[in-house]
């Protein structure tokens, strides 16, 4: 069974959650001890034993009861049922090796899962560990590079939900939280405004597949730290990254990008002209040797229609001497944090 003593060292991200309790052994031992004591007293009275003998009998009975109670309540194994066998057995949190644990992120859950027993899937996260904020469901990647990746959002390039100027980027409220799994249904989960991170994991599917089939994603990892993705994006200021144009181009088969500018990160919008290309999470290119009029982009949360490009939110859109020709590659994008 999972050792709960380790929860204290994990700080504010983890607390113990209630499960089904295994009770009765200590109470039973106390009742047994009481019966033995009464029997010993009656026997002593009938045989007129000395006070010294009575004391010895009582001490022996008490020691036996104490030993029995300790053994029953501290054993690592029991013949009865474990606290939980699945997440459905937990009033709060997730079932991990027989114990219910409450965590605020998938990273905290992975740190507890020292045996790597948990699979990728949807888990319950609690932003303030039992406080007034509501717990919510989110997909956790528990296997890639040690696991602990929390899904934040999913963007369909055929929809306008996550275009650059969309209200969702500034809002802390979730969007379609009923779709917390890694699938093709758009969502912005509570993790967008509540989970701190040191890395972004960005996935892109192009072309988007059939709705009921698993996503087929190309992935990149971006070193970047923040209290939450909302905390970095909502002010609207550029948050630069430095993974390079080739890394961003690896998200889309046949990707095309103009040779210059190559400004990347969050809130990448160097031009004040709304017709120029801009992107919430991604990279921009330009044919001139500057970033004042970019005409190409790759990423999530885009806009801009110069040089024959479409203003769609997610994918790769480029024209005007892009290195792999003019493209309008509409994709489906996902963002996870750790």
Identify the residue with better confidence: 83 or 250. 250
Query: What is the Cβ-side half-sphere exposure of residue 209, based on CA atoms within 13 angstroms?
Result: 11
Taking the CA atoms of residue 314, residue 106, residue 191 and residue 128 in that order, the dihedral angle to the nearest 10 degrees is: 180
Identify the residue with better confidence: 254 or 6. 254
C-alpha 302: how far from chain center: 25
The number of residues in the chain equals 338
Is it the case that residue 72 has pLDDT exceeding 50?
A: no
177-195 tens-digit pLDDT: 999 999 999 999 999 999 9
138-175 tens-digit pLDDT: 999 999 999 999 999 999 999 999 999 999 999 999 99
Query: Tokens representing 126?
Result: 């609690």
Is it the case that residue 59 has pLDDT exceeding 90?
A: no
Q: What is the pTM of this model?
A: 0.77
Mean pLDDT over residues 222-235, rounded?
Answer: 98
Share of the chain above pLDDT 70, in %: 76
Q: DSSP label at 212? A: T
Mean pLDDT over residues 303-309, rounded?
Answer: 96
249-264 tens-digit pLDDT: 999 999 999 999 999 9
**167: Cβ contacts below 8 Å, ≥ 6 apart:** none
The closest alpha carbon to 57, from 41, 70, 33, 69, belongs to 41
**DSSP H/E element including 330:** strand 327-330
Identify the band that residue 276 occupies on the pLDDT scale cut at 50, 70 and 90: very high
Task: Name which of 57-61, 128-132, 324-328 the model is least confident about.
Answer: 57-61
Domain boundaries, the chain: 4-19+81-147, 25-74, 148-338
pLDDT at position 211: 80
């Amino acid at each position: 069974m999972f050792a709960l003593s380790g929860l204290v060292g994990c700080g504010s991200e983890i607390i113990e959650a209630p499960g089904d309790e295994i009770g009765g052994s200590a109470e039973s031992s106390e009742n047994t001890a009481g019966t033995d004591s009464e029997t010993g007293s009656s026997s002593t009275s009938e045989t007129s034993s000395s006070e010294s003998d009575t004391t010895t009998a009582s001490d022996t009975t008490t020691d036996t009861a104490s030993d029995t109670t300790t053994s029953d309540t501290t054993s690592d194994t029991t013949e009865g049922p474990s606290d939980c066998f699945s997440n459905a057995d937990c009033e709060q949190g997730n079932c991990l090796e027989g114990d219910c644990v409450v965590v605020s992120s998938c990273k905290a859950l992975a740190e507890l899962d020292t045996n790597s027993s948990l699979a990728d899937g949807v888990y319950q996260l609690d932003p303030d560990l039992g406080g007034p904020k509501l717990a919510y469901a989110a997909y956790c990647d528990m296997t890639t590079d040690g696991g602990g990746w929390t899904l934040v959002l999913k963007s369909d390039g055929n929809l306008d939900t996550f275009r650059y100027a969309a209200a969702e980027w500034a809002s802390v409220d979730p969007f379609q939280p009923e779709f917390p799994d890694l699938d093709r249904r758009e969502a912005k989960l509570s993790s967008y405004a509540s989970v701190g991170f040191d890395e972004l994991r960005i996935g892109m599917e192009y072309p988007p597949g059939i709705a009921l089939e698993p996503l087929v994603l190309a992935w990149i990892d971006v070193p970047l730290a923040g209290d939450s993705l909302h905390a970095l994006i909502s002010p609207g200021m550029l948050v630069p990254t430095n993974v390079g144009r080739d890394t961003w181009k690896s998200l889309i088969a046949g990707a095309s990008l103009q040779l210059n500018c190559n400004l990347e990160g969050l809130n990448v919008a160097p031009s004040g002209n709304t017709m120029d290309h801009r992107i919430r999470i991604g990279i921009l290119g330009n044919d001139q040797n500057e970033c004042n009029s970019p005409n190409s982009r790759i990423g999530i949360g885009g806009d801009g229609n110069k040089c024959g490009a479409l203003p769609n939110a997610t994918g790769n859109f480029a024209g005007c001497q892009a290195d792999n020709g003019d493209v309008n590659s509409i994709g489906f994008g996902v963002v996870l944090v750790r």
